[in-house]
């Protein structure tokens, strides 16, 4: 059981590092100020989910869910 806990902790550390990097790679909210002038009607504004920024947001959501699940598992003291 101790080996399983160590493996889960290593996965947890990898998720933490990946989550930090992904959050730092994303654009800030101030980068979306083009919506005020109508720039949101461009191709990239309509298809943001298909862009690199959209993919980063999706991956960040999944890693955040994994982070929370592993945190709960590690705090159950089952191992």
Whole-number pLDDT of residue 38? 54
Say how far apart CA 67 and CA 20 lie, in whole Å: 11
CA nearest to 25, candidates 62, 61, 52, 65: 52
pLDDT digits (tens, 9 = 90+) for 1-13: 899 999 999 999 9
pLDDT digits (tens, 9 = 90+) for 25-76: 988 776 555 555 555 555 555 566 678 888 999 999 999 999 999 999 999 9
- Long-range CB pairs of 49-55, under 8 A, 24+ apart, other chains included: 53/26, 53/27
Does residue 77 contact residue 12 with C-beta atoms inside 8 Å?
no
Higher pLDDT, 38 or 78: 78
């Amino acid at each position: 059981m101790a080996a399983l806990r160590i493996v889960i902790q290593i996965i947890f550390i990898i998720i933490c590092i990946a989550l930090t990097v992904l959050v730092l790679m994303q654009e800030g909210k101030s980068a979306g100020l083009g919506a005020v002038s109508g720039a949101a009607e461009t191709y990239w504004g309509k298809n943001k989910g298909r862009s690199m920024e959209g993919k980063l947001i999706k991956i960040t959501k999944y890693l955040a869910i994994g982070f929370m699940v592993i945190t709960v598992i590690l705090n159950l003291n089952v191992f």
